[in-house]
A and B are shown apart, each in its own frame.
Chain A
Amino acid sequence: MSGILELKNLGFVYSQGTPFEKRAVSDVSLSINKGELIGIIGHTGSGKSTLVQMLNGLIKPTEGEVLLNGKNIWDEPKKIRSVRFKVGMVFQYPEYQLFEETVYKDIAFGAANMGKSGDELDQAVKSAAEFAGIKPELLQKSPFDLSGGEKRRAAIAGVIAMNPEVLILDEPTAGLDPMGREVLLSRIVHYHKEKNNTVLLVSHSMEDVARFADRIMVLDDSRLVMFGKTKEVFSVPDKLEKIGLRVPQVTKLTQLLRQRGYDIPEGILTVDEAFSEITAFLKKEGKIW
């Protein structure tokens, strides 16, 4: 089965041919299936943002190709705009890009540019606002009167309104407090499940990625060093730590317990899982009843 997005030997070098030449992505090949939620992790400078910006043609690869539904997105450079409608990108700190008079107009902007109008546009805006958890009464407000978390969700709604086949979010929870993070992530997961759309989530928060992603891409120093099921990736915490990433505390804990010789499964990602595995183990050992 060919995926919705396929990357073939994808590479990118900034300022190629100048003294400032810098490689950001090297030789990434992979395939993403329709309906997957993919987490992308890696420390700053590992190439995550550059990689995702190539997926909707914002920057043109210096090597290799990006196939969207089997077709190289740069086959017809003049049609690259349509790729950007199909692969929606939410940048870091999207709330700084709000500019319209009302939240409604801001959410409608992208969809209107795609040529939507009238009822269709209205539908798209309202449904996007709902997915993003923006209450109807907020739609006529100025986007600048919203709270930080609401602003960010309004900006995300603007991309959702374009009904992209693939939604890419670059660090959507950065700078939000724990509650804002929780609300935003649950909206994204809800959107993903309802629409069965492909979602790529670039995140620094291992806990978030661990909870939601089907598969995880790990980037280090411009290379794809791991791409696998979430549990598989987190069952090698040493490897992740070596490249400057941190695993959830409970994952670390269960690894330490295994090292002490206790029979607790690897790849535990959440407090709930850890709690049930450890209580089961303690019961077996006769330490609790």
Chain B
Amino acid sequence: MDFISIQNVFFSYADPSENPNAQNAVDGVSLDIKKGEFVAVIGHNGCGKSTLAKHLNAMLLPDSGKVYVDGDDTSDENNAYTIREKVGLVLQNPDNQLVASVVEEDVAFGPENLGVEPAEIRQRVDDALKAVGMYEYRLKAPHKLSGGQKQRVAIAGVLAIQPQCIALDEPTAMLDPSGRDEVMKTLIKLNREMGMTVVLITHYMEEAVKADRVVVMDSGKILTQGTPREVFSQVELLKKHRLDVPQASELAFRLRGSGVNIQSIPLTAEECAEMLGEVLV
């Protein structure tokens, strides 16, 4: 079994005895995530992607179906703490996740709660802050940091628990382009250099194209998935569901429609320029 295995999960926020016709927030999703994989999940608000993310560390439990983390069933209460040590969750609003008045104390919050030895906490906090590039800010007040910095502190707080997977629910939605870059660079580094499994829920296609795999959700179901190139080549499908496509992909798709010989859909401006360069030889 893969590191995370989601098996035919259904979940509804409504109580079925009161409202039997309520729509399921997650409506029959199966998804396996390998150790060390970087998976991006995209889709509209209300498509169920955040609900799905909360299933990854037993914050929510499936109404039916199963979620296994490293072989442990999330619906078994005895597994909840081990699972939460394995899968850390970072949320959208950095201000709602920072609890202490000093950056390093905030990062220490998780391991302290786990009863980790003080000397070890010191080490973990330093390592986590260095991994996200916030070590120099360890004595600052979180509220004086920028959004991108706060979000990196929130990621450090999760890293200090030493999880194997980090799931992030739109961590960059409230950030500016450079803050988004900071967070993305941090995630890519954690994934490539430390082998961290990353599940990134995002609205930003330019972030999704950096993942190993993109999963598109719509109305609680998986609409399509594959490598970024496979997914973003389906311009019509994504547009039909009113999802964004990278501008370069959309442009190439339309150019192909008017007879330009384009083999594979580009994801970036550079790839698109390269491709047009070949056409023009």
Contacts and interface: CB of A to CB of B under 8 A. Distances in A.
Interface residues of B, number: 39
Contact of B260 (A148, A274, A288): A288
Contacts of B147: 44
A177 B258 contact: no
A275 B251 CA distance: 6
Interface in A231-289: 244-246, 248-250, 252-253, 256-257, 260, 262, 271, 274-275, 278-279, 282, 285, 287-289
Interface residues of A, number: 38
A271 B247 CA distance: 6
Contacts of A147: 45-46
A279 B258 contact: yes
Contact of A245 (B177, B273, B276): B177
Contact of A257 (B243, B260, B276): B276
Interface in A133-148: 147-148
A250 B248 contact: yes
A206 B176 CA distance: 10
Given A177-B44, A288-B258, A253 B242 contact: no
Given A245-B177, A256-B269, A271 B251 contact: yes
Interface in B262-281: 268-270, 272-273, 276-277, 279-280
A77 interface: no
B255 A279 contact: yes
Contacts of B203: 177-178
Given A44-B146, A149-B45, A249-B246, A271 B254 contact: yes
A147 B45 CA distance: 10
A175 interface: yes
B250 A271 contact: yes
A278 B255 contact: yes
A174 B94 CA distance: 14
A83 B223 CA distance: 50
A244 B260 CA distance: 34
B269 A249 contact: yes
A180 interface: yes
A287 B260 contact: yes
A256 B148 contact: no
A105 interface: no
A116 interface: no
B71 to A, nearest CB: 34
Interface in A20-52: 43-45
13 contacts: A147-B45, A174-B174, A175-B173, A175-B174, A176-B45, A177-B44, A177-B45, A178-B44, A179-B44, A253-B248, A271-B247, A279-B258, A285-B280
Contacts of A176: 45
A179 B242 contact: yes
A250 B45 contact: no
Nearest to A285: B280
A248 B246 CA distance: 10
| The 6 A-B residue pairs with the shortest CB-CB distance in the complex, in nearest-first order | A256-B273, A249-B247, A252-B269, A244-B178, A253-B269, A204-B176
Interface in B235-255: 242-244, 246-248, 250-251, 254-255
A256 B269 CA distance: 8
Interface of A: 43-45, 147-149, 174-180, 204, 206-207, 244-246, 248-250, 252-253, 256-257, 260, 262, 271, 274-275, 278-279, 282, 285, 287-289
Contacts of A248: 247
Interface string B150-174: 0000000000000000000010011
Nearest to A257: B273
Contacts of A250: 247-248, 251, 269
B176 A44 contact: yes
A175 B202 CA distance: 10
Given A177-B203, A256-B270, A288 B178 contact: no
Contacts of B175: 44, 204
A260 B258 contact: no
B254 A178 contact: no
A145 B273 CA distance: 47
B179 interface: yes
B259 interface: yes
B234 to A, nearest CB: 16
Contacts of B92: 175
Given A44-B176, A262-B280, 4 more contacts: A178-B243, A244-B177, A249-B247, A279-B255
A265 B148 CA distance: 35
